[in-house]
Amino acid sequence: MNKDFSELAEGKKIYFASDFHLGAPNDQESRLRESKIVEWLDQIKEDAAAVFLVGDIFDFWFEYKYSIPKGFIRFLGRVAELSDSGIPVIFYTGNHDMWMADYFPVELNVELERHPKDYQIGNKKFHIGHGDGLGPGDRTYKMLKKVFANKFCQWLFHWLHPNLGMGLAKAWSRQSRAHNAESDGGFDPENEWIMSYCKSREEEAHFDYYIFGHRHLPIDYQLNDESRYINLGEWVTQYNYGVFDGEHFELKKFESNKQPA
C-alpha cells in the first residue's frame, strides 16, 4: 500500500471527484462550474480527512517553464487552502491534463499521481486511478498516450509559443470530448474496459473498492461479494462525487446551497 489512511478520525471522511474539465466548453460555462466546485470544497473542508481529485480536472493543462494556463484561480486558491490547513489533496492526471510537472506539488503542496495506486482507508483497501488506457481495447488511444507521455515529445511541444501550443491543444481536447460523447454507448458490464481491468487486478490482490473516473458515468457495480467498481461520474452536467466515512462508500450529487442571483 502506498498511502495509509487507516487511522481515520471519528467523524472524518474521504472525498473523491473527477472530470471537472475546467476550461470547457468556454470561459463563461467553465467559470460557473468552477464556482460550484469551489462551493463543494468549502462544504466538505470541515470533515474532510483527504480529497482525491481523480483526473481530467482541467480540459487541458500544460506547464511551460515560466507559465501555466491562465484562469481557475478560485479553484487553485481553494486547493491551496485545503493543503495549507493540513488536509491532503491527491491529484491524479487524466488524459486531458497529463502534461503536469511540478506546479501543483511545489506551489500547492499537492501530491501528484500519474498511475493507479493502492491505499488503505479505514479498514478497506482501495485501488484508485483515472482510468484512461486501462483494460483491453482502445489501442489507438494507448498509442497516442505513449506519444503524449514521451519526455522528448513534451520537450518539442514546449518550444511552441504558449498562444499557439495551448490553442492547438485546446482544439484537440474539444475534438476528443466530442468523439467520446458520440462513441459512448452507456454502461455495459460485459464490455466495460475499466471493469475488465478491475477484474484482472482482483485476481492478483483483493481490493474492496476500485475508484475511477474518465467514463463520465456514475457507476456503482458489485464486482463480487466483497469488491465494488465505482466510477465517479463528472461535473460537466451531473456534479457527482464520492464519499467514504471509514466503513461505507456512497456516490452523491452536489447540491448548491446558494440562492440564485
Q: What is the per-residue pLDDT across 170-224, written as a single tens digit (0 to 9) for each?
A: 666 555 544 444 345 577 877 788 999 999 999 999 999 999 999 999 999 999 9
**For 94-116, how does the pLDDT look when each residue is reduced to its tens digit (9 = 90+)?**
988 888 899 999 999 999 999 99
Using 50, 70 and 90 to split pLDDT, how confident is the model at 254? Answer: very high
Query: pLDDT value at position 250?
Result: 97
- Please report the pLDDT score of residue 65 as a whole number: 83
Supply the pLDDT for residue 183. Answer: 41
Report the percent of the chain where pLDDT is more than 90.
61
Would the CA dihedral through 24, 137, 242, 219 be positive or negative?
Answer: positive
Lowest mean per-residue pLDDT among 29-38, 119-128, 181-190, 223-232: 181-190
For the beta sheet containing 124-128, the strands, ordered from the edge strand earlier in sequence to the opposite edge, are 3-5, 117-121, 124-128, 209-212, 228-232, 218-222
How far is Cα 88 from Cα 147, in angstroms, rounded to an integer?
31
The predicted model scores a pTM of 0.88
- Of 124 and 161, more confident: 124
